[in-house]
């Protein structure tokens, strides 16, 4: 990953950023099949969450483990590791470049999550390592359970109590 030419790298990055990444399509197809109706990349919500499920008052984010640093959080000064994901590797060269990029991504994700919780959304974060064929069913079942719970609660209970991360 760290030995590719700048040209190739920028192509890889724009492919990663594109909206219809495969794991996200997988999640959307699952939701549709299960009868959940949703909006994709809603521009009216700051941070443009991947999937909005109005009936559960929930936002579902599908995050690539490498780019979004699965297992890492921002402690106000630096990235710190809280869980181990084999896909969140650190390229050996260009450390400064990657560190800056990862730091920016994690900080941005955390800022958006804080905004969404503040606005009363439930937030479910799915990591791509949990959507590989061997783990997919379990991860999607987890998501379905969360959405069920949130949709039953959404009329009565306080919202946005936590960001829930699954699929690791
Ligand atoms: Zn992961």
Looking from the CA of 153 toward its CB, the CA atoms found within 13 Å total 16
pLDDT at position 23 is 93
The pLDDT of residue 139 is above 60: yes
Q: What is the mean pLDDT of residues 43-65?
A: 94
Q: What is the mean pLDDT of residues 80-93?
A: 95
CA separation for the pair 37, 51 (Å, rounded): 10
Rounded to the nearest angstrom, the distance between the alpha carbon of 45 and the centre of ligand 1 is 26
pLDDT at position 168 is 46
Q: What is the mean pLDDT of residues 77-101?
A: 95
Q: What is the mean pLDDT of residues 62-69?
A: 96
Rounded to the nearest angstrom, the distance between the alpha carbon of 136 and the centre of ligand 1 is 13
pTM: 0.79
17-155 maps to CATH 3.40.960.10? yes
Rounded to the nearest angstrom, the distance between the alpha carbon of 128 and the centre of ligand 1 is 6
Mean pLDDT (the chain, rounded)? 86
Rounded to the nearest angstrom, the distance between the alpha carbon of 87 and the centre of ligand 1 is 6
Structural contact between residues 48 and 61, judged by C-beta atoms closer than 8 angstroms: no
Rounded to the nearest angstrom, the distance between the alpha carbon of 50 and the centre of ligand 1 is 17
């Amino acid at each position: 990953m760290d030995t590719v030419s700048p040209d190739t790298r920028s192509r890889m990055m724009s492919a990663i950023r594109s909206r219809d990444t495969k794991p996200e399509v997988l999640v959307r197809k699952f939701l549709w099949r299960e009868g959940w109706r949703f909006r994709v990349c809603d521009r009216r919500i700051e941070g443009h969450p991947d999937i909005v499920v109005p009936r559960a008052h929930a936002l579902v984010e599908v995050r690539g483990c490498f780019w979004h640093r699965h297992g890492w959080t921002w402690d106000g000064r630096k990235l710190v590791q809280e869980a181990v994901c084999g896909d969140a590797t650190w390229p050996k060269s260009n450390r400064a470049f990657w560190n800056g990029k990862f730091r920016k991504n994690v900080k941005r994700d955390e800022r958006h999550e804080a905004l969404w919780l503040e606005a009363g959304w439930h937030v479910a974060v799915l990591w791509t390592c949990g959507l590989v064929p061997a783990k997919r069913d379990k991860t999607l079942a987890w998501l379905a359970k969360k959405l069920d719970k949130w949709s039953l609660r959404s009329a009565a209970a306080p919202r946005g109590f936590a960001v829930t991360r699954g699929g690791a």
